[in-house]
Amino acid sequence: MKLSFRWYGKDDPVRIDYIKQIPNMHSIVTAIYDTPVGEVWSQESIDSLKDEVERAGLKFEVIESVPVHEDIKLGLPSRQTYIDNYKENIRRLSKAGVKVICYNFMPVFDWTRTQLDKVLEDGSTALVYYKDQLTKMDPLKGELSLPGWDSSYTKDELSEIFEKYKSVDEEKLWSNLEYFLKEIIPVAEECDVKMAIHPDDPPYPIFGLPRIITTEANLDRFLKLVDSPYNGLTFCTGSLGSAHFNNIVNMVDKYSALGRIHFMHIRNVKLLDDGSFEESAHYSPCGSLDIVEIVKVLHKNKFTGYIRPDHGRMIWGETGRPGYGLYDRALGAMYITGIWETLDKTSN
């Protein structure tokens, strides 16, 4: 496996040279953040970012994310322009040596939490999703600014997008996703770039918007839309694992054996009785997911893709981007590396 770490560029409070100091760290996971969604990334920006990563002694091989424009998800006539731009981004990133592109197909909102700074029993703070808090939220009032919420929309623009989604149910979203994949996967194959869709987080509809990358059956359906090794998964244990109906160990075993996991996000969550969840430390006893068993099936299946420790708590007084502090994710990286090393030394 190749250990990686998410970094948000020059504006990230976490210094890239500190990331390099984490033992076994292989690559940086990053993106171009100053180009509007749907536009072509300049080769100059891509190459400059690559140079910065490589000067730190790390690899520039995974992009997270190249966002999918809302018109593609909605299936509007304008989608072809944005799809053509997406193809060009694949070509340009391939030219810079990128091997995997992570993206998602979640309508309007990316990963969504209801609170940024829940104080846990140990005094750390974590991202949480409480259903009772969600019922009191109305995204159309324009009052929210949480991770996963696209604050680039004005109140009126968001209302307009919600209106357009009234005609898009799950089947229509599936159809729009299939159209997108049939357009981009041939380009990914030509460029030797593996596309890795991120599951919906949480893996069920919110605010009446459809979500489809949610369950084992839906992942099976997704992979069959374009049955190519270049059409694969970013398997996020915390996203799919935030619902009781997903058996994460079995799913990781299945899809890694098939060679369709190109990128692993490993984190833990503590599931609550009402379907809510809290993000926790990576250490297995802290949450509801068995990280040791997850890593064991990856190792058994000789996984050679990229793994990154996903969201961490804020610990030891660290401040900055919630979920993306250095300290707890570094602990997660070493926990994962320790499990892997032990498996290397004890496996026949």
Q: How far, in Å, CA of 65 to CA of 234, rounded?
A: 11
Q: How far, in Å, CA of 340 to CA of 275, rounded?
A: 31
Q: What local confidence, expressed as pLDDT, does residue 155 receive?
A: 77
- Over residues 100-106, the mean pLDDT reads 97
Number of domains in the chain: 1
Q: What local confidence, expressed as pLDDT, does residue 232 receive?
A: 98
Q: What local confidence, expressed as pLDDT, does residue 38 receive?
A: 95
Concatenating the DSSP letter of every residue in 212-230 gives: -S-SHHHHHHHHHHT--TT
Q: How far, in Å, CA of 4 to CA of 62, rounded?
A: 9
Q: What local confidence, expressed as pLDDT, does residue 146 receive?
A: 55
Phi and psi (nearest 5°) for 274? -90, 5
Q: What is the pLDDT of residues 158-171, one digit of tens each?
A: 889 999 999 999 99
Fill in the DSSP letter of residue 310: -
Tokens 């069959």, residue located: 224
Name which of 211, 216, 221, 205 is nearest 173 in CA terms: 211
Catalytic entry in 230, 310, 328, 335 = 310
- Containing 240, the helix (H) or strand (E) segment is helix 237-240
Instruction: Kindly report the average pLDDT of the chain as a whole number.
Output: 94
Catalytic entry in 86, 253, 311, 328 = 311
Residue 33 designated active-site:
no
Please determine, for residue 117, whether its predicted confidence score (pLDDT) is greater than 80: yes
Catalytic entry in 165, 191, 198, 262 = 198
Residue 230 designated active-site:
no
pLDDT-based confidence at 16, cuts 50/70/90? very high
Q: What is the pLDDT of residues 160-217, one digit of tens each?
A: 999 999 999 999 999 999 999 999 999 999 999 999 999 999 999 988 999 999 999 9
Percent pLDDT > 70 in the chain is 97
Residue 310 designated active-site:
yes
Residue 179 designated active-site:
no
Q: What is the pLDDT of residues 133-162, one digit of tens each?
A: 988 888 777 655 555 555 567 778 888 999
Range of the domain at 286: 2-346
Phi and psi (nearest 5°) for 254? -60, -50
Q: Are 230 and 193 in contact (CB under 8 A)?
A: yes
pTM: 0.95
* CATH number of the domain encompassing residue 172: 3.20.20.150
Q: What is the pLDDT of residues 283-322, one digit of tens each?
A: 999 999 999 999 999 999 999 999 999 999 999 999 999 9
Q: How far, in Å, CA of 113 to CA of 134, rounded?
A: 9
**Length of the chain measured in residues:** 348
Residue 311 designated active-site:
yes
Catalytic entry in 129, 191, 230, 236 = 236
